[in-house]
């Protein structure tokens, strides 16, 4: 016959095993990110009326952003992308001047990031690029972007 203390020991051991498994899985996931699954990218973000936040470092009140349509943002990004791809402009310089993201102060550099750290469309586009490639227009809840994978 099992006593209450026997049941408690069994329950404790299952709980400890479950916790150990969770820690192991979490460690494996984070080490896979560290072991090369991270990418590095820069981007140019143009916010518009549909963006989740209507303010930026260069438009703190969001006055211009609230007036900008998504179509206007996309048209601006297409033009900027054309200038970058043709060699007329440098990605970092364009990001510093036009991006609504605070990363503009670093030429659009977002640093390294792993899966699950960015919005899904942004992540998918970045991981699909080769180092040095520039994406087409990518739409997220933050606005419209062009992305350059840098690492």
- Cα separations in angstroms, 70 against 31, 35, 142: 38, 38, 11
pLDDT in tens, 2-13: 555 554 444 444
User: Which residues, 6+ apart, have CB-to-CB distance to 143 below 8 Å?
Assistant: 45, 46, 47, 48, 50, 51, 73, 100
pTM: 0.76
The confidence score (pLDDT) of residue 147 equals 98
The string of pLDDT tens digits covering residues 7-32 is: 444 444 444 444 445 444 444 444 43
- Percentage of the chain beyond pLDDT 90 is 76
List 56, 101, 103, 144, catalytic entry: 101
Is 48 an active-site residue?
no
Catalytic residue among 42, 43, 48, 103: 43
Domain boundaries, the chain: 1-37, 38-149
**Whether residue 119 lies in the annotated active site:** yes
Please compute the mean of the pLDDT values over residues 67-95 and round it to a whole number: 98
> What fold does the segment set 38-149 form as a domain?
Chitinase A; domain 3 (3.10.50)
Per residue in 126-141, pLDDT tens?
999 999 999 999 999 9
Can 145 be counted among the known catalytic residues?
yes
Residue 77 has pLDDT above 90, yes or no: yes
Compute the mean pLDDT over every residue in the chain, rounded to the nearest whole number. 85
Q: List the helix and strand counts (H, then E) for the chain.
A: 5, 4
Instruction: Show the beta-strand stretches assigned E in the chain.
Output: 39-46, 109-113, 138-140, 143-149
What pLDDT shows up at residue 120?
Answer: 97
Concerning whether 43 is annotated as a catalytic residue, the answer is yes
Query: Rounded to whole angstroms, how far apart are CA atoms 39 and 25?
Result: 22
pLDDT score for 64: 96
At residue 135, the 3 state secondary structure works out as coil
Choice among 56, 99, 142, 144 that is catalytic: 142
């Amino acid at each position: 016959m099992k006593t209450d203390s026997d049941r408690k020991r069994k329950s404790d051991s299952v709980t400890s095993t479950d916790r150990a498994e969770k820690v192991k899985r979490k460690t494996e996931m984070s080490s896979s990110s560290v072991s090369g699954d991270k990418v590095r990218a820069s981007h140019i973000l143009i916010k518009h009326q549909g963006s989740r936040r209507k303010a930026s470092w260069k438009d703190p009140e969001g006055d211009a952003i609230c007036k900008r349509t998504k179509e206007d943002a996309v048209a601006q990004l297409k033009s900027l992308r054309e200038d970058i791809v043709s060699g007329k402009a440098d990605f970092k310089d364009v990001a510093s001047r036009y991006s609504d993201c605070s990363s503009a102060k670093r030429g659009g550099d977002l640093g390294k990031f792993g899966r699950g750290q960015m919005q899904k469309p942004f992540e998918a586009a970045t991981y699909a690029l080769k180092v040095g490639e520039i994406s087409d227009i990518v739409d997220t809840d933050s606005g419209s972007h062009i992305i350059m994978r840098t690492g």
